[in-house]
Amino acid sequence: MTAALLSVFVLPALAAPWLHASARPRLVRRTSLAIACGVLAWSIVIHAENAIAGASEASLSIGGVALVVGGARSVLASVVALVAVGALAFAPRRSIDGRAASADLLAETGSLLALHARDPALVVAGWAMSAWPLLGGAHHRAATQLARVTIAISIALALAAFAGLPWSWAFALAALARLGVPPFHSFAIAALHRAPPWAAVIAIVSPLPLLALGLEPATPALSNVLLAAGVAGAVYASVVALVQNELRRALAYVHVSVVSSVVASMGSGTGEGIAGALLAGVSATLAIAGLVFVAGVVEARTGTGDMRELGGLHDRLPLAAAAFLLFAFAAVGFPGTLGFVSEDLAMQGLAPSHPALAVVVLVASAVNGITLYRCWKRTFLGPARESTARVGALVTRERITGFAWAFVLVLGGLVPAPLSAIRESLEHTRPPVVDRAESAATAPAQRTTSTRARSK
Amino acid sequence: MTIALVARALAAWTPGLPALGALIVGAALLGRTPPSERFTARVAQAALWLGAIGSLAAAGLFLAGGGEPFEAPLGRWFHSGDYGFELSLRIDALSAASTLLVAVLLLATARFSIAYLHREPGFHRFFLLVLLFGAGMQTLVLAGSYDLLFAGWEIVGLTSVLLVGFFHERTAPVRASTRVLVTYRLTDVGFLFAIVLLHHAAHTTHFGALFDASRSELPVTAAALGLLLAAMGKSAQAPLGGWLPRAMEGPTASSAVFYGGLSVHAGVFLVIRSWPLFEASLPARVALVVVGASTAITSALSAQVSADAKSALAYATISQVALMFVECGLGFPNVAIAHLLVHSLLRYYQFLRTPSVLQDLIERRAALGAAAPDALAGKWEKLAPRTRRLLHRLAVERFELEAALDRWVLRPLLALATALDALERKVERASAAPKHPPEAPRVPHEAHE
């Protein structure tokens, strides 16, 4: 187990500098993809071992670094690793050079570190590393500048706990900023719209489940803040998404809306709400990442992401059209996909205590579904245009990755039992970072009644 | 006993067999070489025939049991803590009759479409969607709980949207499909909300357990109104019915089975299935009557001014469905069931015959020797000219319901969204501006002389 964990964490970080310096693009692509697949395989093995042993979370130390492994974290680690593989597999060959590959693997290491570390400083370091593809400055200026500002705010808030701010509040606000919940969303929009798809997905979409894990509200006041921020953000982003003409920008707003819904579900504080939120985080990560990847495929082939210039791609890219539709419905909770399971649980958690807010979140989800369908319609349906008439079909790696992606989303929806075990692992619910920080604080932690109810 | 067990198994597979057929056709489409029309047609017919046998088994079990409703539990899909999504089918008079109706109409549609869509580029896609629709519709009518009924409801909605946009190379069908999706998605919020409320109050959404419980414990009015909203969307009731005439853009066979036979009646089915909730809530029953009556009148008038046969049929369908809402609201759900069954069959046939309606009219006139007298026209002529002009204008403009929705809901929302988007882009541009603006180019000293 220790050796496996070590390889999961260390191998990508060790490989990153070598990849960055390498001048052989083909070797870089193959090596980085092999490493990412290796991390994914190891993550799945670790999760399977935990599941077979019936073990929940466990603490261990590697080289003096305190980690928490197992339970929900092993599931989320697999999701992070899967996204890293997808980012490399879906990206056009010319966009994956040494710099891109090393950034992808560094970001993956950062996410895994943030997910498993007990030390708050390491968690914060992991956050920063997970945004590396955007912070490096090689992309659109707006995306880079906004990312730097927002990540700095996020880190500052996290570190503010050391200066005496209540850790739960500091962490929650930091997480909201890092997740891109309005009003901290501008960097996420800019990145998902303008940065290369692989970079945007790794830095913006992938951290959702691990950040959601730490958002469990410790006090009723914090719960209300998360609820308010989540509901307002979900509605705001879903409305603005309606008027977008650029495909990836529309997907960016849908992502922000879905993330905000996850935050609102976490804010409910109930067992079903939190379980639903975590599952929604997993589902949204995979679905939105899939959508962004397909959008990247379309953009690479047509040279444009403006839906006013797209259309009629259904005949040229039928598999991409089918994949986009499937991912879209997974993102908004269609039956048979993981999104349906998570939305059902989230609503069971939110509606009884906040029925009006639940209706608002449902309406936002419905509007997101409309936006995604319009994106699909404008991109793939209608008469063919000059820009889309000579588009090439999907290549083998894109087909294989797309199938695998769709398989996971549908399998997770039809057989959600392994993922719903996330709830059982939440019996030890407080994130280790919060436990450790608050145990050192003078005031005892306040538990909500919902937390007590959930621990029954 | 063995026969009963076999019959139960067959009944349990009724929704699953069309889904299996869809899976086979879908898998075949993913191959390098598309399957032949014969293969797809045979898979579809086999799946639908086996599903029909399951429907017969379900109906037979119901009759053999002396007309007593029973449930067929299928297990648990997922759970979290105290909450679990149970899968079970409910066989009673309503579902037994409905599943047979669904099976018959699907078989007829498949048989009709094999010839109608021969050599059509979307032949396989059509059958894939019809099989998925069959799975969804059978799930909807046989579901033993609101959770499972909602899953079928969503599948029916999705396949409806995709079939409206079947001829996707044209703009009009694609636009119409968006209209259908918007209506379905927004009204389904009511359904979801009702499910959550009922689950929270009764810790179950099983029809048997739910309707056996004391009504005073249930939020009957809120749940019934939520379900009514969903039913209005699916059954195209005013003011949400503008999508149905536009949905005629799809193939004739899908128009017949969706908007003549089955899908458009799903809302009525939901109301009848939820009758114990509506029975316990006077405001919900009043809402049923108001919605139904207003829709019946407006749609009947709109049908009279429709320029094409399919639109006229669509409005006539809406009008009849609205009357079923009124029947339920007045406390006669059994009348509504009978009305639903007969109307489905009649309207399905009429939709299939629509391409030949002109030919039928000519043949009827030839047989009668003259045009048949129109009793309604006589009554219309007796109205005052001003009244006739007013009614005609309102009917042509569909009573300005869509215009009102557009003016008071859609346009303000889009204007707000556009303003917010402009602000967002301004922030993004500001963050992208370089810190130090480039220096102005130096003009050589000689230029000044």
Note the pLDDT of residue B231: 96
Query: Which residue of chain B has the CA closest to A315?
Result: B169
Encoded amino acid at B157, one letter:
G
User: Which pLDDT value is given to residue B281?
Assistant: 92
Contact between chains at B30 and A319 (C-beta distance less than 8 A): yes
ipTM metric: 0.85
B189 and A362 in contact by Cβ < 8 A?
A: yes
**Range scoring the smallest mean pLDDT among A213-227, B91-105, B308-322:** A213-227
Q: Which residue has the higher pLDDT, B19 or A271?
A: B19
CB contact at 8 A, B428 and A189: yes
- In this model, does residue B85 exceed pLDDT 70? yes
B404-436 pLDDT, tens digit each:
888 888 899 999 999 999 999 988 888 776 655
| Chain A residues closer than 8 Å to B174 by CB | 377, 381-382
Chain A CB contacts of B192 under 8 Å are 347, 362
- Chain A positions touching B185 (Cβ under 8 A) are 366-367, 369-370
Lowest mean pLDDT across A159-163, B187-191, B302-306: A159-163
Q: Do A373 and B431 touch (CB under 8 A)?
A: no
What is the SS3 assignment for chain A? CHHHHHHHHHHHHHHHHHHHHCCCHHHHHHHHHHHHHHHHHHHHHHHHHHHHHCCCCEEEEECCEEEEECCHHHHHHHHHHHHHHHHHHHCCHHHCCHHHHHHHHHHHHHHHHHHHECCHHHHHHHHHHHCHHHHCCCCCHHHHHHHHHHHHHHHHHHHHHHHCCCHHHHHHHHHHHHHCCCCCCHHHHHHHHHCCHHHHHHHHHCCHHHHHHCCCCCCHHHHHHHHHHHHHHHHHHHHHHCCCCEHHHHHHHHHHHHHHHHHHHHHHCCHHHHHHHHHHHHHHHHHHHHHHHHHHHHHHHHCCCECCCCCCCCCCCHHHHHHHHHHHHHHCCCCCCHHHHHHHHHHHHHCCCCHHHHHHHHHHHHHHHHHHHHHHHHHHCCCCCCCCCCCCCCCHHHHHHHHHHHHHHHHHHHCCHHHHHHHHHCCCCCCHHHHHHHHCCCCCCCCCHHHHHHCC
Token pair of B97 as six digits: 């009759």
Q: What is the DSSP letter of B440?
A: P
Give yes or no for residue B268 having a pLDDT over 90. Answer: yes
- Distance from the A23 Cα atom to the nearest Cα atom in chain B, whole angstroms: 31
- Write down the pLDDT at residue A434: 46
Q: Which one, of B143, B140, B44, lies nearest residue B87 by Cα?
A: B143
**Which of B80, B155, B181 lies closest to A335 in CB terms?**
B155
| Mean pLDDT computed over every residue of chain B | 86
CA distance A309 to chain B (A): 14
Residues A414/A263, Cβ–Cβ less than 8 Å: no
Chain B residues touching A363 at Cβ < 8 A: 186, 189
Minimum-distance CB partner of B417 among A243, A380, A381: A243
* Backbone angle region of B399, left / alpha / beta, with phi > 0 → left and psi within -120 to 50 → alpha: left
Average pLDDT, rounded, for chain A: 80
pLDDT at A56: 65
Min Cα distance A445 → chain B (Å) is 25
Residue B135, token pair as written in the block: 């799975």
Q: How many Cβ pairs within 8 Å bridge chains A and B?
A: 132
Tell which wins on pLDDT, A292 or A409. Answer: A292
Closest CA to B127 of B257, B314, B261: B257
What tokens does A319 get? 């598999």
**What average pLDDT does the segment A410-426 reach?**
67
Give the distance from residue A63's alpha carbon to the nearest chain B alpha carbon, in angstroms.
37
CA distance B36 to chain A (A): 18
pLDDT over 80 (residue B22): yes
Residues of B in contact with A454 (CB under 8 A): 81
> Which tens digits make up the pLDDT trace of A284-330?
899 999 999 999 999 988 888 999 989 888 888 888 999 999 999 88
* pLDDT above 50 (res A407): yes
Å from A11 to nearest chain B CA? 36
pLDDT > 90? residue A100:
no
Give the model's pLDDT for residue A447: 38
In angstroms, the CA A119 to CA A125 distance is 10
Contact list in B for residue A425 (CB cut-off 8 A) is none
A198: which 2 tokens?
Answer: 């692989």
- Interface contact flag, B416 A348, Cβ < 8 Å: no
B-chain residues near A345 (CB < 8 A): 80, 83
Question: In chain A, which residues have their Cβ closer than 8 Å to the Cβ of B177?
Answer: 377
Cα–Cα dist A129/A105, whole Å: 10
Q: Which residues contact B32 (CB under 8 A, 6 or more apart)?
A: none
- Nearest by CB: A242 against B171, B196, B417: B417
Q: What average pLDDT score do residues B87-105 get?
A: 93
**Minimal Cβ distance to B81: which of A190, A239, A272:** A272
Q: How far apart are the first and last CA of chain A?
A: 31
pLDDT tens digit sequence for B269-286: 999 999 999 999 999 999
Selected residue of B428, B429, B435, B436 to mutate for chain A interface (largest A Cβ count, 10 A) = B428
All residues at 6 or more sequence positions from B72 whose CB lies less than 8 Å from its CB, including other chains: B8, B11, B12, B88, B89, B90, B91, B144
- Does the pTM surpass 0.90? The reply is no
Average pLDDT of the segment spanning B202-224: 80
Nearest CA in chain B to A364: B186
